[in-house]
Amino acid sequence: STTYNVVLLPGDGIGPEVISEAQKVLELVSKKSADFDIKLTPYHFGGAGIDAAGKPLPDDTLAACKAADAILFGAVGGPKWGFGKVRPEQGLLSLRKELDLYANIRPALFPSESLLGHSPLKPEIAKGTEFIVVRELVKGLYFGDRKEADLDTPGSEGDAYDTMVYNKNDVQRITRLAAHLALQQNPPAKIHSIDKANVLATSRLWRRVVQETIDTEFKGLEVDHSLVDSVAMTMVSNPRKLNGIILTENMFGDILSDESSVIPGSLGLLPSASLSGVPDGKTRCNGLYEPIHGSAPDIAGQGIANPVGTILSAAMLLRYSLCQPKAAEAIEAAVRKVLDSQDVGGHGLRTADLGGKVSTSEIGAKIVEELEKLL
């Protein structure tokens, strides 16, 4: 049988807590499968990389990530390392760049309908929301020329800048990927391209290239264009209007995807895949999988973080990088089962972010128990 090598990057804060639950899920999938094994190997990354090797992306970590079939990542960052010269977050940015993970796919779906009552939005507004954020991940403000302000030299003006750069090819390739995802739905999903074309040159390029790519290569697909500020409002007032694919640049996608987590009710629920090619479910795609949340220093070490986003990221890993859709669907079904079940207090088997009292490892164990029945 085939052995798949998966690198684990637990990182910092709640990263190791949520990764260890997803690890149990992948170990069970490996044990139960007749035709493949998954070998999981942890490496230092982020603040843990700085502590162990003096840099957030140590050389052996990068080499292992390059050689791996897929990467499962928790989160990086925290007050211990701050925002100084060497930052945990730089490791994540370098890794995305090194592996050319240009497409970040962040589905905002209800992992379970039973969460409707927990959404801070009225159920009739949240119900039926189903969109996927496709975020460009290796260009834009994150990677352009940058200057730090000098505030310590007397007389210095203290100017700082970040530069946002996109070219035609950057926009074309992410548009093609979004179009392929749209075509995988039946009927094909609508593409909502989001920009700030009333101000930014990069956005005017974005809008034109998105439209031309769809017109010339994907005739018949529907695409519309909106400004990011008004979309931020629509996302929480009428989110179903955005159903389909949200296609946007790096920073807008970062902000809008955190906002999207308000709809199902917690940042801890949502998974993501960062890919370097089009996921068609048949050809194995290089990828890094992570929950969309960060290291949550405010709750780290308490064993109360929600591991669902990370476990659903492991499902995306099986689907896109290992082409094992059945195992992916089984994980998603097990998560749904656990979120749907009610305990005596009526809070369900849920972590504190969803109003429950269940710990990270208890919810992980329950998901493993349900998965055992489905595999």
Interface residues with ligand IPM (CB under 6 A)?
77, 89, 92-93, 254, 292, 294
Quickly list H helices, the chain: 15-32, 47-53, 59-67, 88-98, 123-126, 168-183, 201-217, 228-237, 250-260, 308-320, 325-340, 360-374
Identify whether 280 is a catalytic site residue: no
DSSP-derived secondary structure for 213-249? HHHHHSTT--EEEEEHHHHHHHHHHSGGGG-EEEEE-
**Least distance CB 59 / ligand NAD (angstroms):** 20
CA separation for the pair 147, 162 (Å, rounded): 7
**Least distance from C-beta 368 to Mn ion, angstroms?**
28
Distances from the Cα of 71 to the Cα of 6, 90, 277, 319, angstroms: 6, 17, 15, 13
The catalytically annotated residue of 139, 254, 337, 366 is: 254
Q: Between 249 and 290, whose beta carbon lies closer to ligand NAD?
A: 290
Nearer to Mn ion, 97 or 180 (CB): 97
Which candidate in 150, 229, 280, 343 is catalytic? Answer: 229
Taking alpha carbons only, the member of 369, 291, 290, 292 closest to residue 330 is 369
254 is catalytic: yes
Is-contact 256 79, C-beta < 8 A?
A: no
**Of 262 and 323, CB closest to ligand IPM:** 262
Look at the block and give the residue holding tokens 């999981």.
40
Q: Which of 120, 160, 165 is nearest to 142 (CA)?
A: 165
Smallest separation, CB 225 to ligand IPM (Å)? 23
Concerning whether 258 is annotated as a catalytic residue, the answer is yes
152 is catalytic: no
Instruction: Indicate the residue among 69 and 254 with the shorter CB distance to ligand IPM.
Output: 254
Among ligand IPM, ligand NAD, Mn ion, none, the one that 78 touches (CB under a kind-dependent 5 to 8 A) is ligand NAD
* 160 versus 255: smaller Cβ distance to Mn ion: 255
Q: Which one, 259 or 340, has the nearer CB to ligand IPM?
A: 259
52 by Cβ neighbours in 10 Å (0-12 / 13-18 / 19+) ranks as: middle
Active site residue 142: yes
233 to 272, contacts with ligand NAD by CB under 6 A? 267-268
- Of 254, 332, 353, 370, the residue at the interface with Mn ion (CB under 5 A) is 254
Angle between helices 325-340 and 360-374 (to 10 degrees): 130
> How many other CB atoms sit within 10 Å of the CB of residue 145?
9
Using the rule CB under 6 A, give the single segment among 72-80, 186-194, 209-217, 278-286 that binds ligand NAD. 72-80
Site for ligand NAD in 274-303 (CB under 6 A): 290, 293-299
Q: What character string, x for contact with ligand NAD (CB under 6 A) and - otherwise, covers 305-324? A: xx--x---------------
Instruction: Indicate if the alpha-carbon torsion angle 136, 139, 140, 142 is positive or negative.
Output: positive
Q: Measured from the CB of residue 309, what is the shortest distance to ligand NAD in angstroms?
A: 6
23 binds, among Mn ion, ligand IPM, ligand NAD, none (CB under 5 to 8 A by kind): none
Where along the sequence are the contacts to Mn ion (CB under 5 A)?
254
Where along the sequence are the contacts to ligand NAD (CB under 6 A)?
14, 18, 75-78, 89, 92, 267-268, 290, 293-299, 305-306, 309, 353
Which residue numbers are catalytic? 142, 196, 229, 254, 258
